[in-house]
Structure 1
């Protein structure tokens, strides 16, 4: 493998990692806004968990964790 090819591969790997992190961050923001919007519309906690799992493919555990972080009590 020549040096130029190795450098190009490293550059592409960095780009791929950056894209992956950006997508993950975007999903996190989307989940947070989803929870806030459902709560503002008066949806129940349980219905929001169910829809969160359905729309984002989260496990019960992950959905509950995000709800605990984002659901405003009171």
Structure 2
């Protein structure tokens, strides 16, 4: 496990979607991962998607949907 004393970064909220800002693998920017923990320090080359509260969108479901359509989404990422 990696720990940082650096104050830079954003703390996660349960239900966030994490997208890579860049990638070295084919279609790598057209994928996402869900994070279901609060207060995890996020930093680096990550784009954070945060659904509006009360909308009822599960990040785990959204992550599955995005990842299943990677080939179609890659040209627009």
Shorter-chain TM-score: which interval?
under 0.3
Higher relative contact order (CA 8 A, sep 6+): 2
Bigger helix fraction = 1
TM-score normalised according to structure 2 size: 0.23
Higher share of residues assigned strand: 2
